[in-house]
Structure 1
Amino acid sequence: MMKRTFLITGASKGIGLGLAHRLTGAGHHVVGIARGASEYFPGTLISADLADVQQTQRALEELSQRYAFDGIVNNVGLVKPQRLGQIDLASFEEVMRVNLNPAILGTQALLPGMKGRGWGRIINISSLTALGSVERTAYAAAKASLISFTRNWALELAQTGITVNAVAPGPTETDLFRANNQPGSVGEERYLKGVPMKRFGKPEEIAATIAFLMSEDAAFMTGQTLYVDGGASIGNLLF
């Protein structure tokens, strides 16, 4: 197996951290970018506020000079629940900015190197909420945009050796999810009702699907979105 070098945004916890451990365990080198630190990160973790465009660009420029990246996982996310009637544009724009700008900046920073080597993996982390959910106008729109990015980029890069796919997790036991859905809350109950398996996903379960898409075995798969959601996307939407 060839050792690869992968970049993960939002890598200090949750799905990003779980994926970093999985990829490192498979012998790859993982570089993470996150605002917060993590003493448990298994690779190289760079501190940067991905909501800040200039700070993000500086970090990506430095990393691109230091490493020959084989792929990127656009994982960083931000949720600000607001119901229609109370949506403010400042919050809406912040959610869109944090979820989308690093994906564009990071992918474009790594693209020349991947094209030059004729091999690459781009994974966009979307969400089940892209299919519809309450109080998620901004977040769902951003995650739906990442699915659109995936399809467009896959077409543009189809003959380069670079694949582009998305993973859309259902409710997963992450800090981000729990910040908005406390144990015993109405939100938790609502999400559980929407999952046929009647449980939440684990970060390592999502990481397993992402790791497959980043492998040699997924070379003929591009432009796809895989829902990893305990069956929640089978017409059993979240009301």
Structure 2
Amino acid sequence: MSEIHTTLITGGNSGIGEALAKRLVEKGERVVSVGLEKPDWTHDLVASYRADLTGIDETRAIAQEICRDHAIDRIVHNAGVILPNLLPDAKPEDILTLAQLHLGAPMLLTQAALAGMKSRRFGRIVFVSSRAAMGAATRSAYSATKAGVHGLARTWALELASGGITVNVVAPGPILTDNFWGIIPKGSERQEQMARNVPVGRLGSREDVAHAIEFFLDARSDFVTGQVLYVCGGTSLVGLGP
């Protein structure tokens, strides 16, 4: 029987994080969720924490609390915010906020869990980035920090490989989540047009991304590290059009 792991998921209360948490629980895996809100569902295998990961001190405190109470051996850095603006309206403060959420928070959480991973000589770290790391209109702060995720992950992959810890990135394209509908009206013509512009002919689901994350989390994926997997229906090749 395979070992049961404990996976820390940031933003595990909704969207991709929630979909992944439910898939792992169905397989008998333990999940720790941390985000602005706790999940609206409960399970014996799920522990939930509430924290604002845009705050450095709050993130450091919750990271220490979680890793004191749980033997975290897999981390999915999923929490993210877009803060869209065209360049004339973009704010440097947004870059600082998203740098902490997309880069600083993962660093603090991973640092807290690292000693345990090294002692067990097993760890899986997966970032949820975005196709927008390649560039997208209105995404100055978001694209910049998500592109930074790729560099951070590759650096950690090199540093941690000898300890049995892999670090990889899943970069989704347009996925039907509340984040998406916060910008594109649900069921609108704009949503339908975007779907037509995706080479595979549809927008992505939370489960599409969760499935890819599970591949990187698997103990059998120990020869794969420092990689970026675009789960985007082909939009990393052609873009999304107007």
Q: Which runs of 4+ in 1 moved over 6 A?
A: none
Q: What's the offset of the Cα at 1:102?
A: 1.0
**Structure 2 match to 1:144:** 147
Q: Which moved more, 1:219-228 or 1:43-52?
A: 43-52
Q: What's the offset of the Cα at 1:185?
A: 5.0
Alpha carbons 1:12, 1:32 under 8 Å: kept: yes
Alpha carbons 1:125, 1:166 under 8 Å: kept: yes
**Structure 2 match to 1:214:** 217
2:238 to 231, 235, 239: 235
- The TM-score with structure 2 as length reference comes to 0.93
Q: Write the distance in 1 (CA, Å) between the matches of 2:194 and 2:169.
A: 22
**Structure 2 match to 1:11:** 12
The answer to whether residue 195 in structure 2 is matched with residue 192 in structure 1 is yes
The 1:155–1:238 alpha-carbon spacing in structure 2 relative to 1, beyond 3 Å, is: farther
Alpha carbons 1:17, 1:41 under 8 Å: kept: no
Q: What's the offset of the Cα at 1:108?
A: 1.0
Q: What's the offset of the Cα at 1:236?
A: 3.4
| Percentage of matched positions with identical amino acids | 39
The 1:158–1:44 alpha-carbon spacing in structure 2 relative to 1, beyond 3 Å, is: same
Q: What's the offset of the Cα at 1:111?
A: 0.9
The answer to whether residue 58 in structure 2 is matched with residue 81 in structure 1 is no
SS of equivalent residue, structure 1 residue 92: helix
Q: Write the distance in 2 (CA, Å) between the matches of 1:59 and 1:47.
A: 8
Matches within 5 A, 1:51-200: 51-183=54-186, 185=188, 188=191, 191-200=194-203
Q: Which amino acid aligns with 1:220?
A: F
Alpha carbons 2:53, 2:59 under 8 Å: kept: yes
Alpha carbons 1:83, 1:136 under 8 Å: kept: yes
Alpha carbons 1:195, 1:230 under 8 Å: kept: yes
**Structure 1 match to 2:28:** 27
Q: Write the distance in 2 (CA, Å) between the matches of 1:121 and 1:98.
A: 20
Over the residues paired in the alignment, what is the CA RMSD in angstroms? 1.6
Any stretches of 5+ residues in structure 1 without a counterpart? none
Q: Which amino acid aligns with 1:181?
A: I
Q: Write the distance in 1 (CA, Å) between the matches of 2:196 and 2:150.
A: 25
Q: Write the distance in 1 (CA, Å) between the matches of 2:190 and 2:102.
A: 22
Q: Write the distance in 1 (CA, Å) between the matches of 2:112 and 2:130.
A: 24
SS of equivalent residue, structure 2 residue 167: strand
SS of equivalent residue, structure 2 residue 114: helix
- The TM-score with structure 1 as length reference comes to 0.94
Q: Write the distance in 2 (CA, Å) between the matches of 1:187 and 1:100.
A: 31
Any stretches of 5+ residues in structure 2 without a counterpart? none
SS of equivalent residue, structure 2 residue 220: helix
The 1:226–1:65 alpha-carbon spacing in structure 2 relative to 1, beyond 3 Å, is: same
